[in-house]
Amino acid sequence: MENSATFCKNLRAFPDLYLGAFEGRKLVGIAYAGLRNGGIYLRGICVDLGDGYQRLGIGSLLLKVFGKAVACRGQKKLSVGSAPDPKVEKFYIKNGYALIEIVVKSKETEFLRKKVSGYEEGKCLKQSMKRELGADEAIFIFEKAL
| Domain shared by 45 and 102, yes or no | no
Distance CA 13, CA 17 (A): 9
Structural domains in the chain (count): 2
| Domain shared by 56 and 119, yes or no | no
Residue 36, pLDDT > 90, answer: no
| Domain shared by 84 and 28, yes or no | no
| Domain shared by 63 and 31, yes or no | yes
Tell me the average pLDDT of the chain: 91
| Domain shared by 34 and 98, yes or no | no
Distance CA 136, CA 76 (A): 32
Distance CA 96, CA 101 (A): 16
pLDDT of residue 109: 79
Q: Domain end: 24, 49, 75, which one? A: 75
Position with higher pLDDT, 124 vs 1? 124
Handedness of CA 103, 72, 90, 59 (dihedral sign): positive
